[in-house]
């Protein structure tokens, strides 16, 4: 039995390396699997990398100087054009109003075009605090004509507290014009616009 025990003991000694080898192989397989998963994840991430998205306008320092110069020139041109247009419109209105004043200077009564003119009051909140009215002029004749209109602003008692003159030039038959008659600043005194004179010439 000693021999047999010795053989068993020897067998037991021979089985220990096998068990160690199996454990080592299992650990290696586990490590390989983990490594493969990590590699697969890296590969997937590498195939579709997430890149930051740049939005908005780049700083001016990053733009070509030629492009900046072009944009600046366009902006300056647009501003100049707007100023020129505004000045042209202002000059045209001034000429029409001056012509209207001259046309009304010799009109003793209400004029020959009262029926061609209507008024629409403008709230002072929309006129910068000034008395104002839109003057709608319609050429009811069959010929081209110019118009001169005097607008009075009257208080509740009928007293004229402000007056102004507007005009429209060279209106075609049936055509309309809508100049705005501006008076002085409204100092809390309610006033209603009315057509005092309207002359077609």
Q: pLDDT per residue over 118-174, tens digit each?
A: 999 999 888 888 999 999 999 999 999 999 999 999 999 999 999 999 999 999 999
Q: pLDDT per residue over 2-17, tens digit each?
A: 454 444 444 444 445 5
**What value does the mean pLDDT take over residues 44-65?**
50
170: left (phi > 0), else alpha (psi -120 to 50), else beta?
Answer: left
- pLDDT value, residue 95: 80
pLDDT over 70, % of the chain: 55
What's the distance, Cα to Cα, between the start and end of the chain in Å? Answer: 147
Banded pLDDT at 114 (limits 50, 70, 90): very high
The residues near 182 (Cβ < 8 Å, ≥ 6 apart) are: 127, 130, 131, 132, 164
Question: Which residues are paired to 166 by β-bridges?
Answer: 149
For residue 2, the SS3 value is helix
Banded pLDDT at 73 (limits 50, 70, 90): low
* Pairwise pLDDT comparison (60 vs 152), residue with the higher score: 152
Q: How far apart are CA 33 and CA 25, in angstroms?
A: 12
Geometric angle at alpha carbon 200, from 197 and 201, rounded to 5°: 130
Q: Per the structure block, which two tokens stand in for 117?
A: 């003119």
Strand 176-177 relative to strand 130-138, pairing: antiparallel
Banded pLDDT at 49 (limits 50, 70, 90): low
Domains of the chain: 95-200 (2.60.40)
**What value does the mean pLDDT take over residues 73-82?**
57
Handedness of CA 45, 48, 51, 56 (dihedral sign): negative
Residue that is written with structure tokens 């579709």 in the block: 48
Residue that is written with structure tokens 């605090």 in the block: 129
- Are 148 and 197 in contact by the 8 Å Cβ rule? The answer is yes
């Amino acid at each position: 039995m000693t021999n047999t025990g010795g053989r068993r003991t020897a067998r037991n000694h021979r089985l220990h390396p096998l068990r160690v080898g199996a454990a080592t192989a299992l650990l290696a397989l586990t490590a390989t699997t983990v490594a493969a998963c990590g590699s697969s994840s890296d590969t997937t991430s590498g195939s579709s990398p997430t890149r930051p998205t740049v939005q908005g306008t780049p700083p001016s320092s990053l733009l070509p100087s030629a492009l900046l110069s072009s944009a600046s020139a366009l902006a300056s041109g647009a501003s100049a054009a707007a100023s020129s247009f505004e000045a042209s419109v202002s000059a045209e209105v001034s000429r029409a109003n001056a012509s209207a004043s001259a046309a009304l200077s010799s009109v003793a009564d209400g004029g020959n075009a009262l029926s061609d003119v209507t008024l629409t009051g403008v709230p002072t909140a929309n006129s910068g605090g000034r008395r104002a009215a839109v003057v709608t002029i319609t050429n009811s004749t069959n010929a081209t004509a110019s118009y001169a209109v005097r607008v009075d602003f009257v208080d509740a008692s009928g007293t004229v507290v402000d007056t102004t003159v507007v005009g429209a030039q060279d209106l075609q038959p049936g055509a309309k014009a809508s100049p705005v008659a501006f008076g002085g600043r409204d100092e809390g005194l309610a006033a209603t616009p009315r057509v005092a004179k309207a002359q077609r010439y």
